[in-house]
Amino acid sequence: MLAVEAKGEGSEEATMSWKKMDMHVHSCFSVEPVPGVVGVSFQPKETPEELYHRAKARGMDFVTITDHDTIDGCLDFLERHPEVTDFVVGEEVSTQLPKSGLTVHINVYGHNQEQHRELQARRESAFDVVAYCRSQKLFFAWNHPFYRENMSTIQEEEFMALLAQVPVLEVRNGGRMQLLNVLAEELAVRHAKGMQGGSDTHTGHIGSVYTAAPCNTLAGFFAAIRTGRSRVVGSHSTPRTFLLHNYLVGRRHVIREHLRKASSFSERTRLRLLAALSLVLSPWIVRRHFRGQLEMAHIALASLGVFRSVFPPVLEAA
């Protein structure tokens, strides 16, 4: 297992080259229920091996997979390709702030099976997840920090207490609108956090957002992020890109896979009706998706004192 430590490489930055990695990627080992549709889930079709080769073809120097609450895909890839030295285990740990119930996703890198089990055992509290990462000297980052999956809201004291314990923020997520990414970057700048980004692709669109850092090794890559020497490159989500690269691709895959597994005529009929309805309603679903993201931004702006003095051009740029 590759060890990842936030330490310098001991050489001058001038001798290093800039390396790239999409730090937020999902494979077929990520499984999520489709909101509002009973008995239907979404599972990306791309295998870790397919994503690795696609990332390399798109210019990524290092590769990771950050599936939801599992490292099985990473371990499967490493078992098949023990010779690779440019791949690091990753995982998106789903947790929450215990008082407000706010959803928190923490990306963790370079850990092993035992550490994965310990992280999963601490998911009831983001503070416990973060404390364990710190105790194990694992590199970790708080993804899309204003995200919410429920009707919870931001409780400022609790939110800022977690922020104080997190060394790195994801400041550009390929699945988030520009305003949310700008606010995440503003939070990172004001609190001197390391900054990283990733596509958060569930449909194979790896490398559309990536982190670049001056380094010679993977350990040096993570060290550069921790010490504020990284740059984040790539596109924000828009209604058009979400529709084309996320919703329609994902919809087609979900329907195809569930039809393949359907065991009765009535089940197949239900799925075909859902397929037609999901296509007809796609403009409304996309608008609703972005209204939800805008609501997240409004909650952050209203709840966090750090944003009460945001430089106006920052918001205008978003």
**Domain definitions of the chain by residue range:** 18-238, 240-309
Give pLDDT, residue 196.
98
**Full-model pTM:** 0.90
Check residue 163 and report its DSSP letter: H
Give pLDDT, residue 5.
46
Host H or E run for residue 80: helix 72-80
CATH code that applies to domain 18-238: 3.20.20.140
**pLDDT in tens for each of the 318 residues of the chain?**
444 444 444 444 667 899 999 999 999 999 888 777 777 788 899 999 999 999 999 999 999 999 999 999 999 999 999 999 999 999 999 999 999 999 999 999 999 999 999 999 999 999 999 999 999 999 999 999 998 877 788 999 999 999 999 999 999 999 999 999 999 999 999 999 999 999 999 999 999 999 999 999 999 999 999 999 999 999 999 999 999 888 888 888 888 888 888 889 988 898 899 889 889 999 999 999 999 999 999 999 999 998 887 666 666 655
Task: Give the residue from 53, 2, 3, 5 showing the smallest Cα distance to 27.
Answer: 53
Host H or E run for residue 168: strand 168-173
DSSP secondary structure string, 26-69? --TT--EEPTT-TT-EE-----HHHHHHHHHHTT-SSEEE--BT
Dihedrals phi, psi of 309, to nearest 5 degrees: -130, 35
Residues facing 91 on adjacent strands: 108
Q: Which two tokens stand for residue 109?
A: 């890198």
Measured between alpha carbons, how far is 221 from 169 in angstroms, rounded to an integer? 15
